[in-house]
A and B are shown apart, each in its own frame.
Chain A
Amino acid sequence: VIDPPQGDERYWNKPTQTAPREVLDALHLQRLRRIVGWAYENSPLHRRIYDEAGVKPADIRTWDDFHHRLPFTDKPDYLRDQDEHPSGFGGTALGPERWQQYFHTTGTTGRFLNETFTEFEMQKAGAQYCYALWDYGVRRGDSMYFCFNWGSWIGLWSFYWGARNFGLRIISGGGCSTQERIEHILKHRPTIVTATPTYLLHLAEVAAANGIDLREAGVGMVAGGGEAGLSITATRARVSKAWNVGNHIMDAYGVGEAIFVGQSCREWGGGVHVIEDNFHSYVVDPGSGEPGADGAVGEHVLTSYSRFSQPFIKYRTHDLVRMDRHPDHGCGWTFSHLPGVVLGRADYMVTIRGVNVYPTAVENLLGEVVGLSNHYELHITREAGFDRMLVRVEADAASTRSAEDLGTELTVLLRKSIGVRLETEVLGAGALPRYELKSKRVFDHRSAEERPRVTLGQGGVR
């Protein structure tokens, strides 16, 4: 049982975690000026980008300067630089003598971006996980079980650094089969099990198939990220039920290269808070590149204060998010909140008869159809000048409903909730692939010319 701390005891770092917005913004502006200066002095890529834009670090004095004079950076900038650089790493600002660990992105956008981290960056990146762990009531002596194989994806590695930083007892599930991990969990009875939402459900599914009820495993909390699921009401409810953890579900949103992390608070306001001690983040209009209004959906642009060997400044994530800069759902955190976390990808934006269709909205609705599993794929095509989306789902193993019946209900529900008709296809139980790490949900079959081009107003620079 995890006892939730009361009053100020719930805050990992109250001075900033509950600071007024104007104090946080003042800190951000100073830190942004520092990191821009560092990058300009030490990263040839950043110096080139800033010189081409005709801006020097000393020019960044106000928010208007930051928003309008400083150029955006994007993954292709780093990919080009890594191609040209003998080290194979792009945008670096410290030499290899300071690098301690390498990673690369998952390649979901086509190519790997190589990432390098110093010892301090790893320590600091781990520190950012502690805010939520502390808030939920996790304390020294608790334990965390990791369901991953310690590969080259940083996501759960950084979670591991966080667990070390926090002082948790760590139990590795690396190199194990799903069945072996279930046995570990039953044997060690960890306080927390950490995995992607899909894999958390897969563990429960495999356990049930073998006559094991993970609700009896004594796990007090589950945590994860890499997918939107833990901030999607329907998926969250499935996870909660499968593990019997109530509201003790911690979501973490990251952007691997920038080691960006947002975390859910104990109240769970529907998404995650930006850990503003380590990042500046804001939302821009995908068309103009102008800062979005509070609560507007736009592309998420971030700057990391945890990345010095490879700075990421005003970096385009291509994630579509809604940002609430004045959250008020009872937790007391003043860090910005992203309800629903990643609503979709700017690159995958699908507009059907004028309606933007977000993958997360579709996932949320799947949970309302009794008899469907949580696994799905969205296939985007363009025919006769119009975007189309096929929602491919699978029946739950325990369901006795016909595919036709399930498909009809889903089609009607999607039409009623989203406002447009999406095509649906219902497969048999277990037909869709299971992923240990990030699940691939969206398959965009449109050509490069047919996909939306998100230019942020041609770079957003005046």
Chain B
Amino acid sequence: VIDNVTTSLDPQLDRLVALRATLRAEQQRAATPAVARALETADYYLLIGLSYLGYVDHLFPEQALAFE
């Protein structure tokens, strides 16, 4: 669950946060390891996009999982 977005420099940030939640949900139910890996790579790039827009709740993709 991604929440508590604290700084928003552009309205696209909120949309990308929602997109990331969907992406990660799809990653969890990926049909094959190949699809899971592709979505993991996509998440890396998506998080770089989020960080450009001032997203600070996670600094890197695995952070939420690591804290869990």
**A residues neighboring B (CB under 8 Å):** 13, 15-16, 19, 23, 26-27, 30-31, 34-35, 38, 41-42, 94, 98, 118-121, 123-124, 127, 277, 305, 308
Contact = CB atoms under 8 A, between A and B. Distances in A.
A124 B9 contact: no
A88 B38 CA distance: 31
Given A35-B59, A123-B45, A26 B7 contact: yes
11 contacts: A27-B7, A27-B54, A27-B56, A30-B7, A34-B57, A42-B66, A120-B47, A120-B60, A121-B60, A123-B48, A308-B59
Contacts of A277: 51-52
A98 B66 CA distance: 12
Interface string B1-43: 0000011011000000000000000000000000000000000
B6 A30 contact: yes
Given A26-B7, A119-B44, A120-B44, A308 B52 contact: no
B45 to A, nearest CB: 7
DSSP class of B's interface residues: helix, strand, loop or mixed? loop
Given A123-B44, A277-B51, A23 B59 contact: no
Nearest to B63: A38
Most A C-beta atoms less than 10 A away, residue of B44, B48, B56, B63: B56
Contacts of A119: 44
B56 A15 contact: no
Contacts of B44: 119-120, 123
A120 B54 contact: no
Contact of B54 (A16, A124, A308): A16
A441 to B, nearest CB: 35
Nearest to B56: A30
Given A123-B44, A123-B45, A13 B59 contact: no
A30 B7 CA distance: 9
B7 A15 contact: no
B47 A308 contact: no
Interface of B: 6-7, 9-10, 44-45, 47-48, 51-54, 56-63, 66-67
Given A119-B44, A124-B51, A15 B9 contact: yes
Given A41-B67, A120-B47, A123-B44, A31 B52 contact: no
A330 to B, nearest CB: 23
Contacts of B51: 124, 277, 305
Contacts of A26: 7
Given A120-B47, A120-B60, 16 more contacts: A15-B9, A15-B54, A16-B9, A27-B7, A31-B56, A34-B58, A35-B59, A38-B59, A123-B44, A124-B48, A124-B51, A127-B48, A305-B51, A308-B60, A308-B62, A308-B63
Given A23-B9, A41-B67, A120-B44, A34 B54 contact: no
A123 B48 CA distance: 8
A371 B38 CA distance: 57
A303 to B, nearest CB: 11
Contacts of A15: 9-10, 52-54
A120 B56 contact: no
List 6 A-B pairs, minimum CB-CB distance, nearest first: A15-B9, A30-B56, A308-B60, A13-B52, A120-B44, A15-B10
Nearest to B47: A120
A13 to B, nearest CB: 5
Contacts of B66: 42, 94
A114 to B, nearest CB: 20
B7 to A, nearest CB: 6
B24 to A, nearest CB: 14
B67 A19 contact: no
B59 A31 contact: yes
A361 to B, nearest CB: 37
B52 A34 contact: no
